[in-house]
Amino acid sequence: MSAGSWSQVSPWPIVAIHSLMTPDGKILTFGTDRAGAQGSHMLYDLWDPGTGTHTTLNYVQNTNIFCSCCVIDPVTDHIIITGGDASTLGNFNGGVPYVHTFDYQTDQLTLNKAQPLQYSRWYATTLTLGDGTIFVLGGSDAKHRGVGTPELYTTGSGWKTMPGLASADIANNWYYPRAWLASDGSVVGYSAQNEGQNAGTIFKITTTGGGTITQLGHTPFESVAYDPATMFAQDKILTIDKFGNAWIMDISSGTPTFTQTDGVGSNRAWSNLTNLADGTILLTGGSNGLGASGVGSVATQTNQAMIWNPETGHWTNDANAAVGRFYHSTAILLADGTVLSAGGGAPGPLTNLNSEIYTPGYLLNADGTLRTDRPVITEAPKTLQQGQTFTISLDNADVIQKLELVKFGSTTHDFDAEQRSFSLTFTHIDAHTLQVTLPPNVNALTNGYWMLFANNENGTPSVAATIKISQFGVDTTAPSIPDTNFMLNGTASHAFGSNIYTLNTDNPGQTGAVMSDKRIDLTHDFNLSFSINLGAKAISGDGMAFVLHNDAFGNDAIGGGGGSLGASGLRNGIAIQFDTYKNVPLGDIAAPHTGIIATDPNAGAYRLSGQTPIANLTDGQWHSVAVAWNAQSFTLTYTYDGAQVGYLQLTSMQFARYFGGSSFAYFGMTGASGGISGIHQVQFNSLSGTLEVGPPPGTPHPHDGSIFEVSSIAQHMTLNGSATIRDAYHTLTLTPDSVGQTGGATFNDKIDLTHDFNIAFNIYMGPGQPADGLAFVLHNDPSGANALGTGISGSLGAIGIQNGLAIEFDTYRNSLQEPAYNHTGIIDTDAGGYQLTSPTNIGNIVDGGWHQVGVTWDSQAHTLRYWIDGTLSGTLAGDIVSQYLGGQSTAFAGFTAAAGNSHDLQQVRVTAVDAYFDHVSSNYANIQDPIALSNKAYRSGAATYDSIHHTFTLTPNAAKKAGAVMLDQRVDLSYDFQVSFDIYLGTKIKGGDGVAFVLQSDPRGGFARGGNGANYGAVGIKNGLGIAFDTLQNKPYGDVAQDHTDFFNTSAPVATSRISDQLGLGNGNVTDGKWHNVLVSWDATDHTLTYWFDGVQKGTLTQDIVATYEGGSHYAYLGFTGGTSASSNLQQVHINSLSATFENQSHLIL
């Protein structure tokens, strides 16, 4: 393997004393202020490795998380930060009992005042256990004394001390105790601080019941706090002692064993060990001596990286970093296989407000250039469970020799208790597919986020696929219930392959739910059988429920805690309760009981049946339940241990009211505990019924048009008026709860209406008085994304927008002409709100709940439809482009709302966007007719035209073909232009060769065509510039392995034609039988040509293209070409839209 290399030194906003990878792949760091001074009570930083950008945020609480400890909560995915420094209380370097949570979805750091630690801690160690709890040990308290009593955190219940595990040795050696979770579920570690010249004391802790702690002898080396350690395989730990000797600690059996391996030659005090993508271990930083301050020595700094190979036990010397890193430095593996090395100082001989990136040799050629043969994982699961078998797709599975699984890092003070790796066994299924089975042991393959790397025969790894592997918060399967998956919400947990789900453990304050991802069809009968176990406590709380619902959050929905049983609070649903606790305010009877309720607080009723006592509900046994639905009579019945205990018959009106007007419902189980707890489990046995085919109405289907993830929606919208955005669900607050407010949020880029679109969102109209409502708007107002209508007389912030239409959700009667009820309809925004469809009664949506809306546009049928809570609520068919949108085939989309004297909070959460977007600005010239252009285009070579679908075939699936299509009029490059088109590149993975977009001034005019094969039908055209979409690696021409794109000179020989870097397309394989969108934009003022592929910007060329490539002509034929060699594919193009000025055409500013 080649030697690695280091990047240039880059500035970092703070000294990165703590580094943690968040679930979305960003790096959270904290530790100092901007000057590098000790204390992180003011700042924390998020770094995005994909963009290289920093987001440095202020922390408003007067607390200090300096020298705390961090771990990702496997239940909530929040980062739990325990302890810290009491400096803000005037007690410098004293411990605190504070617990903070960092929500990676909102970037917010919050002090959890309700669930503090029982002991103050500073320099403690945290690690996750197999049951989802979090274990903390060590640290020093507010009086600077070591803490010898561990604590255990349970989500919902908080922290409890474990006095049976009190240890004088841990209290004496409190400084970040070295501890790991072993595969048998115990916590094994050794002391590493105040042993002096002594070996470290080995301990083993069990946490079940009151727990036990056992001392198991001593390490064979002197144990000190500044030497690093990491778990590199199951139960195997690599550590380096104070003399530079390396040891393998094996904790797989009762008493850990130690085996000496090759040493590193000298002391590496305050160095870091990092697990790499190929299973090797990287050693970075440190010094051969502690220096005068005890935290590192510049004079003896050791900047050379070293690599340890577990298979050989040997170390390899590698490249030297530029900066010495000692005490308070960190190193963490990134998803691209490189390592971020940062921090050091506060205190220390260096104050490192900087970072470096180490690129391992497995990514480099011998000359130091990046390898181009990296495998590409094209598809992998987002979530898995321990023991699950799954497949991954790659560009070339045949070359894969190793799969390495590495857990997300969380490192500080040269230690990460969570860091661990696995080399996975796998089976080749075909040329693009591997089958893998995960280890089943949750204590070894711990709950959390992992990076999966695929390594080829050269040892080069792919960019990692991120997978959440857990028994919490993942999509699961129950073997006995086919054709649907169950999502775990809240505290619900599940072991792969089991029919048993645990909703709550026997701890207070828990709420869990298990929900189907398919809705059951209530127009057909169904029968569901399951068993429940509510524990054996005489006083138990609170119970569990079977639910049917149409809540806007679908299978992510969960109700309230305590007496709500996790069910009450769900919108549009009913529940069968199995209640073990008497909640007097709810009217519960004293005995454990069952009954049927309406879960929606706005249903107009709570109890739908009487309460039936069940004497043996909490006897610790499993009890069978059978639920039956009769679709003809709207009757729900159920039995408990074979005896009927409940019955509910609905009228058709009640059926519509309780299920939100839908004939389908999600089904699942919920459970909750309040101050009194009990275990709540369910075992699914069988289901006989009809499940919904396809997604629920209004749910967007995936295709390649979406240009952004909803999680980053704030980056893609313009906020106007009173609108704001910020929280975990990316909520748009259009109007706050105050009078005279008007707000709007509009997507920055326009939607292309020549394609279908689907947009799903939830609306919240407040819990109080109705006022006035909100709207979804499509428009072409001259103000663009800044457009906002009026807020007067029920205009909803929409009326007054020019060239637009809106779907209104109106909650206030502003005139006698309006209905007296809450209503919806489609209106013309610049015709005074003229109703285009009749108003539809939508009931009371000012109910404090969220309501789901789905809007779809069918571009072929020219039909706009929308659903509210699963019910079709409006349809508008016709030429909306000409009639309402000013004749433009693209439109801005967004939301508006207004409140007059009657006011309430009005919000929107966008849940999915499936659309093609055009980057159209106000200075684009004449919008052309793409169908007319297609009908008149020149065709040459193998190119043919389908006049029905207006689609060009550039090459058939045949060898050695070349085809070209050119518009019959030349584009005037003195003005901006923009063209949107779709390309189809076939289905053969190793087919070729690709297609190109060209601008050319060849003397042959519209019939110009280049050669076949790697020429794409374009190379050979005189005076031309092309954009290649290359699907076949032609090594003699320097092609990268994956499907790629670049700019090229059509006049140059193919070997020298490329004029830009090759950039990967999609996931590396776009010969996937799908259409892919391309958008090309020319800025005549800046002389810049830019293009996007499937919504992702790929290339920018700023140059005088007229003089350089077009032979001096300001007019160029715009067209498309394709070529095949011995490898072939069907290659096609479809023109969607063109905004341009043609030769001899007047230039119209829009």
The pLDDT of 220-238, averaged and rounded, is 94
Domain 5-363 architecture: 7 Propeller (2.130)
Per-residue pLDDT of 480-501, as tens digits, reads: 998 899 999 999 999 998 999 9
Q: CATH 2.60.120.200 in the chain, residues?
A: 484-516+535-547+556-687, 710-918, 927-1139
Question: In what helix (H) or strand (E) does residue 488 lie, and over which residues does it extend?
Answer: strand 486-490
pLDDT at 381: 93
Q: How far apart are CA 312 and CA 272, in angstroms?
A: 21
Domain 377-469 architecture: Sandwich (2.60)
pLDDT at 168: 94
The pLDDT of 788-810, averaged and rounded, is 90
Phi–psi pair at 517, nearest 5 degrees: -95, -5
Is omega for the bond preceding 770 within 30 degrees of 0, making it cis? no
The pLDDT of 361-372, averaged and rounded, is 94
Give the neighbor-by-neighbor strand order of the sheet with 246-250.
229-233, 236-240, 246-250, 257-261
Ranges 321-330, 623-632, 796-805, 895-904: which has the least confidence = 895-904
Cα 194-198-203 angle, rounded to 5 deg: 75
Per-residue pLDDT of 10-46, as tens digits, reads: 999 999 999 999 999 999 999 999 999 887 666 899 9
Q: How far apart are CA 1013 and CA 945, in angstroms?
A: 21
The pLDDT of 787-792, averaged and rounded, is 87
Name the CATH topology of 710-918.
Answer: Jelly Rolls (2.60.120)
Task: Tell me the pLDDT band of 1054, cut-offs 50, 70 and 90.
Answer: very high
Q: Amino acid identity of 860?
A: Q
What residues does 415 pair with on adjacent strands? 229, 412
Task: Tell me the pLDDT band of 698, cut-offs 50, 70 and 90.
Answer: very low
The pLDDT of 66-92, averaged and rounded, is 93
Judge whether 796 and 895 are in contact, CB under 8 Å: no
Task: Tell me the pLDDT band of 552, cut-offs 50, 70 and 90.
Answer: confident
Task: Tell me the pLDDT band of 805, cut-offs 50, 70 and 90.
Answer: very high
Per-residue pLDDT of 392-447, as tens digits, reads: 999 999 999 999 999 999 999 999 999 999 999 999 999 999 999 999 999 999 99
Cβ neighbors of 367 (< 8 A, separation 6 or more) are: none
Per-residue pLDDT of 570-603, as tens digits, reads: 989 999 999 999 999 999 999 999 999 999 887 7
Cβ–Cβ contacts within 10 Å for residue 519, how many? 23
CATH code that applies to domain 927-1139? 2.60.120.200
How far CA 903 is from CA of 371, 679, 773, 793, 812, in Å, comes to 61, 44, 9, 13, 10
Is omega for the bond preceding 542 within 30 degrees of 0, making it cis? yes
Full DSSP string of 144-173: SPBP---EEEETTTEEEE-GGG--HHHHHT
pLDDT at 688: 96
pLDDT at 276: 98
Q: How far apart are CA 871 and CA 387, in angstroms?
A: 40
Per-residue pLDDT of 842-875, as tens digits, reads: 888 888 778 888 888 888 778 899 988 777 889 9
pLDDT at 701: 38
Phi–psi pair at 88, nearest 5 degrees: -70, -10
pLDDT at 777: 97
Q: Is the model's pLDDT at 709 over the cut of 70?
A: no
Nearest CA to 513 among 500, 503, 505, 522? Answer: 503
Q: Amino acid identity of 670?
A: T
pLDDT at 1149: 33
Nearest CA to 568 among 603, 533, 517? Answer: 603
Q: Is the model's pLDDT at 60 over the cut of 80?
A: no
CATH code that applies to domain 484-516+535-547+556-687? 2.60.120.200
What residues does 718 pair with on adjacent strands? 746
The pLDDT of 875-896, averaged and rounded, is 90
What residues does 426 pair with on adjacent strands? 436
Nearest CA to 409 among 232, 268, 275? Answer: 275
Q: CATH 2.60.40.10 in the chain, residues?
A: 377-469
Q: Which is more confidently placed, 885 or 156?
A: 885
Judge whether 803 and 788 are in contact, CB under 8 Å: no
Mean per-residue pLDDT over the chain, rounded: 90
- Map 291-313 to HEC letters: CCCCCCCCCCECCEEEEEECCCC
Q: How far apart are CA 469 and CA 405, in angstroms?
A: 11
H helices of 256-345, where? none
Q: CATH 2.130.10.80 in the chain, residues?
A: 5-363
Judge whether 232 and 255 are in contact, CB under 8 Å: no
Q: Is the model's pLDDT at 705 over the cut of 50?
A: no
Nearest CA to 348 among 297, 283, 304? Answer: 297
Nearest CA to 159 among 147, 175, 144? Answer: 147
Task: Tell me the pLDDT band of 1001, cut-offs 50, 70 and 90.
Answer: very high
Per-residue pLDDT of 451-465, as tens digits, reads: 999 999 999 999 999
